């Protein structure tokens, strides 16, 4: 069914409740293969919910209907020298399909964020407000046009990243930010994996305002045959140059050799890292691990020692985010991955696998019983009959 406005969504979801019919929410379909494989009885398309409804460049705020193509929003704000600072990931390289087809509603639904998240925050941190229709068929408005306008419960933090299991978004309001004058990437090359991660963590604690910190193993990018710690700097050209030189001086005795990528090369590199291309270009199952930056190397070493067939990997967020590609297996090596992550208090999400695998193992990290109970209560407060994306995140609801 095509959803043209909030009344359409309310009617569709009330009918679904009356008939106990589960519903999938689809914008452009670029994220249909994310999450558990859980076919739904009905499809609710948001493609007709398109268009920017408000854009005030001077106020750094934009509102758009949920089905608006993200590429249109990015072009509109780029013309005003602005951007979405959280750098939303394009899942096409990982999941297939045409690139840059995502909608703004889908971006919020999965909290799509990129390498700059470590400094700028995630998509949910830039979501000022939204309108939606809950699984009950009730229209809800939350937040507003400024950060201070949040009263009561901050529902944005619940809805963003819920994969459509709580509500069908109809409109979102986002904070936009000025685009910096320039960017550069400083590469520290030739250290070991552990030494490179240590350098990234130390760089993140300096006053040099590094906005992205990634470690690329040999062969992962740029044709390098050694580990490369990549540090992105943004801002006025004179400031970027001064901070770059400061970093080189601070780590001059580390044993690394340094190379500099100027603006065009730097932007191209981070676009590839944003979309996880170093692992996406390998055939296999892809996992996304989130741990404390100090634990990243230990987690990967534990996975290696357990015998998991690691095909490719890289670290983002100074070691706190790990992308892994492993040779395919019916269980996606879930026991090995989650044992390694659990030992350090993180979580692991299966991003790419075939439908059968995603239907039989838990795609999202299992929750402790108290948290699982809270998750169920939140779900049922929005969608008591589980008509929205039933089974998309948890098998039981």
CB 52 within 8 Å of CB 169? no
pLDDT band at 146 (very low <50, low <70, confident <90, very high): low
> What pLDDT score does 153 carry?
60
Q: DSSP label at 276?
A: T
What's the alpha-carbon Rg for the chain, to the nearest Å?
21
173 and 186 share one domain: no
336 and 215 share one domain: no
Here the CATH number for the domain that contains residue 23 is: 3.30.465.10
Domain count along the chain: 3
Out of 97-111, 134-148, 308-322, pick the least confident: 134-148
Structure tokens at 5: 């406005």
Q: Does the pLDDT value for residue 184 go beyond 60?
A: yes
Q: Domain range holding 294? A: 277-360
In sequence order, the 6+-apart residues with CB closer than 8 A to the CB of 374 are: none
In sequence order, the 6+-apart residues with CB closer than 8 A to the CB of 188 are: 196, 199, 228, 229, 231, 251, 254, 256, 257, 258
> What pLDDT score does 147 carry?
52
> What pLDDT score does 222 carry?
84
**189-239 pLDDT per residue, tens:** 999 999 999 999 999 999 999 999 999 999 887 889 999 999 999 999 999
Cα 217 to Cα 213: distance, rounded to the nearest angstrom: 13
What is the rounded average pLDDT of the residues 168-196? 98
The neighbour count for residue 157, using CB atoms within 10 Å, is: 15
Here the CATH number for the domain that contains residue 241 is: 3.30.70.2190
pLDDT band at 97 (very low <50, low <70, confident <90, very high): confident
68 and 212 share one domain: no
47 and 150 share one domain: yes
Cα 249 to Cα 341: distance, rounded to the nearest angstrom: 35
321 lies in some domain: yes
> What pLDDT score does 223 carry?
86
Instruction: Tell me the three state secondary structure of residue 212.
Output: strand
193 and 329 share one domain: no
**119-144 pLDDT per residue, tens:** 999 999 999 999 999 999 999 999 87
Here the CATH number for the domain that contains residue 297 is: 3.30.70.100
Q: Give me the percent of the chain exceeding a pLDDT of 90.
A: 94
117 and 194 share one domain: no
What is the rounded average pLDDT of the residues 248-261? 98
Q: Where are the alpha helices (DSSP H) in the chain?
A: 6-19, 70-78, 92-95, 104-109, 117-120, 156-159, 193-204, 237-250, 263-274, 277-280, 296-305, 334-342, 355-360, 369-382
In sequence order, the 6+-apart residues with CB closer than 8 A to the CB of 157 are: 124
């Amino acid at each position: 069914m095509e959803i043209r406005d909030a009344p359409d969504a309310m009617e569709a979801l009330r009918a679904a409740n009356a008939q106990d019919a589960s519903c999938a929410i689809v914008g452009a379909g670029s994220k249909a293969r994310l999450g558990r494989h859980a076919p739904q009885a009905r499809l609710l398309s948001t493609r007709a919910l398109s268009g920017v409804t408000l854009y005030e460049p001077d106020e750094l705020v934009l509102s758009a209907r949920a089905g608006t193509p993200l590429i249109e929003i990015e072009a509109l704000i780029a013309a005003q020298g602005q951007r979405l600072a959280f750098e939303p990931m394009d899942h096409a390289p990982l999941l297939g399909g045409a690139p840059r087809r995502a909608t703004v509603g889908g971006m919020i639904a999965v909290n799509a964020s990129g390498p700059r998240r470590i400094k700028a925050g995630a998509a949910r941190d830039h979501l000022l407000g939204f309108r939606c229709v809950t699984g009950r068929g009730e229209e809800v408005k939350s937040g507003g046009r400024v950060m201070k306008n949040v009263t009561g419960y901050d529902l944005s933090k619940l809805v963003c990243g819920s994969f459509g299991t709580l509500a069908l978004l109809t409109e979102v309001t986002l904070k936009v930010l000025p685009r910096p004058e320039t960017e550069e990437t400083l590469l520290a090359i030739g250290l070991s994996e552990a030494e490179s991660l240590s350098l990234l963590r130390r760089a993140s604690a300096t006053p040099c305002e590094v906005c992205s910190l990634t470690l690329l193993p040999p062969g992962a990018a740029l044709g390098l045959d050694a580990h490369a710690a990549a540090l992105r700097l943004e801002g006025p050209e004179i400031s970027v140059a001064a901070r770059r030189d400061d970093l080189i001086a601070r780590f001059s005795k580390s044993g690394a050799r340094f190379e500099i990528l100027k603006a065009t090369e730097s932007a191209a590199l981070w676009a590839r890292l944003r979309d996880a291309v170093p692992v996406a270009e390998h055939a296999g199952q892809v996992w996304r691990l989130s741990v404390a930056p100090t634990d990243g190397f230990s987690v990967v070493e534990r996975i290696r020692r357990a015998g998991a067939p690691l095909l490719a990997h890289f670290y983002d967020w100074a070691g706190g985010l790990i992308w892994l590609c492993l040779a395919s297996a019916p269980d996606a090596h879930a026991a090995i991955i989650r044992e390694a992550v659990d030992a350090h208090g993180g979580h692991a999400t299966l991003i790419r696998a075939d439908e059968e695998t995603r239907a039989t193992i838990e795609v999202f990290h299992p929750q402790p019983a108290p948290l699982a109970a809270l998750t169920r209560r939140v779900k049922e407060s929005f969608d008591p009959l589980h008509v929205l994306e039933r089974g998309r995140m948890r098998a039981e609801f």
